[in-house]
């Protein structure tokens, strides 16, 4: 009986998720998206995992999105396997310059490095690749140096990253935001349930709290591009009064079902939306805080090229993000 009650509670909770805002133009091929609005003219830019990191632009948050070119048309300057297939971009505007962080690695290894490119406009052909930030990992490290995210707090560049192994870590970058400060990374979040499936972290400040969003589960299958139901990506969150931790997550029904994944559920599969993850948060002038992410539509397909851009408004009124 208890199991059935839990399943009913989970089903009711899942139906409470809002569907993504309608997206127009090219909304596919959006694995691990990053979104930002250009300050000079209000044009939106979108970046995602793959190749030299495609650049899409749009006059509005929801489209129509149009392909413009690539950030790294000649690949990354990092001398490592995977340098022609950059992952998980994270873009920010600092002192009149756009900084785009990315990861170079190969699937399932810790031979990884986080790089950075800069541009004054984000237009194709304007990006300068600075190569590795110095945040790197090798086999045997506690962490995997992929999925970068920057947040600037009181002039300090806090840099969060990690995937599986011991999950999510944080260090700092130097004042120029181009290189590792040398500070030892510390663990922000650890899922003690093998295989520690947490990655894609994003730290966002709202009110008195810092919210650590991350993806839990499998982004994609091994023999197919569809993880088994229950194993697929879900977007989780914890929060802290300090950017450096400690991050806590309430475990209340129905969230207790997800307690073993190390966070409180923000968005899971529902309806035709399957495996939402690779997320970030943007404070949009029209919609307010929005959660952006990739997902697959179960009526279309599960390959990377099928991954769609999802955008949901976030309600923080309870102290926890609700979409």
Catalytic residues: 32, 199
Q: What separation in angstroms does the CA of 135 have from each of 57, 146, 177, 248?
A: 29, 9, 12, 26
What is the rounded radius of gyration, in angstroms, for the C-alpha atoms of the chain? 18
User: Which tokens belong to 2?
Assistant: 């208890």
Q: Compute how many other C-beta atoms are within 10 angstroms of the C-beta atom of residue 303.
A: 15
> Three-state SS for 266?
strand
Residue 58's closest CA among 36, 89, 28? 36
CA distance 251 to 248: 10
> Three-state SS for 193?
coil
Contact 212, 237 (CB under 8 A): yes
CA distance 49 to 205: 25
Q: Compute how many other C-beta atoms are within 10 angstroms of the C-beta atom of residue 108.
A: 8
CA distance 258 to 176: 39
**Which residues lie below 8 Å from residue 270, measured CB to CB, with a gap of 6+?**
14, 15, 17
- The dihedral over CA atoms of 130, 133, 139, 142, expressed in degrees to the nearest 10, equals -160
């Amino acid at each position: 009986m208890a199991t059935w009650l839990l399943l009913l509670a989970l089903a009711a909770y899942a139906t409470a998720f809002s569907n993504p805002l309608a997206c127009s133009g090219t909304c596919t091929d959006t694995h691990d998206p990053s979104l930002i609005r250009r300050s000079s003219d209000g044009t939106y830019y979108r970046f995602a995992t793959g190749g030299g990191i495609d650049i899409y632009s749009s006059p509005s948050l929801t489209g129509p999105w149009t392909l413009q070119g690539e950030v790294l048309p000649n690949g990354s300057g990092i001398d490592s396997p995977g340098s022609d297939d950059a992952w998980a971009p994270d873009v920010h505007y600092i002192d009149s310059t756009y900084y785009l962080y990315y990861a170079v690695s190969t699937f399932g290894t810790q031979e990884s490095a986080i790089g950075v490119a800069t541009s004054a406009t984000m237009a194709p052909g304007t990006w300068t690749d600075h190569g590795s930030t110095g945040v790197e990992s090798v086999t045997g490290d506690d962490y995997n140096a992929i999925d970068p995210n920057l947040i600037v707090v009181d002039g300090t560049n806090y840099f969060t990253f990690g995937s599986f192994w011991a999950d999510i870590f944080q260090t700092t970058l130097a004042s120029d935001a181009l290189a590792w400060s040398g500070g030892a990374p510390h663990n922000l979040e650890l899922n003690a349930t093998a295989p520690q499936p947490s990655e894609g972290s994003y730290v966002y400040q709202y009110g008195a709290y810092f919210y650590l969003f991350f993806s839990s589960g499998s982004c994609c299958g091994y023999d197919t591009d569809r993880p088994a139901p229950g194993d697929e990506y879900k977007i989780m969150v914890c929060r802290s009064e300090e950017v450096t931790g400690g991050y806590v997550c309430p475990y209340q029904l129905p969230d207790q079902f997800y307690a073993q994944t190390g966070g409180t559920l923000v968005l899971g599969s529902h309806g035709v939306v399957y495996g939402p993850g690779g997320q970030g948060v943007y404070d949009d002038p029209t919609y307010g805080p929005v959660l952006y992410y990739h997902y697959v539509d179960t009526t279309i397909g599960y390959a990377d090229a099928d991954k769609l851009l999802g955008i949901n408004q976030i309600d923080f009124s309870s102290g926890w993000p609700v979409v």
